[in-house]
Chain A
Amino acid sequence: DAKTTQPPSMDCAEGRAANLPCNHSTISGNEYVYWYRQIHSQGPQYIIHGLKNNETNEMASLIITEDRKSSTLILPHATLRDTAVYYCIVRERTMAQNFVFGPGTRLSVLP
């Protein structure tokens, strides 16, 4: 699986958009970008995933660059409850394969 690079920490003001970057310059054509988050030692929570098109769901938007070497997770209106560690994971969609979690980005949403 391709390696990802994320900033170790970010701050965001409550109510503003949080934009979390992820670099994955060695991504291969059949690898997807997944985002999970972990709120204070709870189990990781799935947020969104994509291959090459931008994706949006009720939680977030995922913007993937045209060359697929980087992506950005956007939380459009961050709340205090969005304070968490956010993980960007790149992997193929295979049947049983586990997720490999890196250190992620610790997002602090400030009042």
Chain B
Amino acid sequence: EPEVTQTPSHQVTQMGQEVILRCVPISNHLYFYWYRQILGQKVEFLVSFYNNEISEKSEIFDDQFSVERPDGSNFTLKIRSTKLEDSAMYFCASRYSGQPDEQYFGPGTRLTVT
């Protein structure tokens, strides 16, 4: 069964550094998403992406965040200057265009900012 994959599984970085989290969505999916989950808290939506542009973004997704689909398979989330409060699990999700509209989530990247 096709799966969303994410790398790395765990990323440790120092405050102020840039990080790039990578995702490979399911191959025939056209909508892509990033969510995050701070330890012990809810899963929160960050951004959705379709047709090479952002469709929606939350207030969390400020100017230090960016997303990109650099090629036909990868979908990335960049945090330009990490803060301690960016420490969280980051989940990538994808869905098919049209119906059904369920989103399929990857296993996540645990980001630790020290």
Contact = CB atoms under 8 A, between A and B. Distances in A.
B108 A42 contact: yes
B49 to A, nearest CB: 9
A34 B102 CA distance: 9
Nearest to B3: A43
Interface residues on A, range: 20 to 34
A43 B108 contact: yes
Contacts, number: 54
19 contacts: A41-B89, A41-B108, A43-B91, A44-B43, A44-B91, A44-B105, A46-B103, A93-B99, A93-B101, A95-B97, A96-B31, A96-B50, A98-B33, A98-B48, A98-B56, A98-B58, A99-B45, A101-B42, A103-B42
Interface residues on B, range: 20 to 34
Interface in A66-102: 87, 93-102
Contacts of B48: 96-98
Chain A contact residues: helix, strand, loop or mixed: loop
Chain B contact residues: helix, strand, loop or mixed: strand
B25 interface: no
A49 B95 CA distance: 15
Contacts of B97: 95
B55 interface: yes
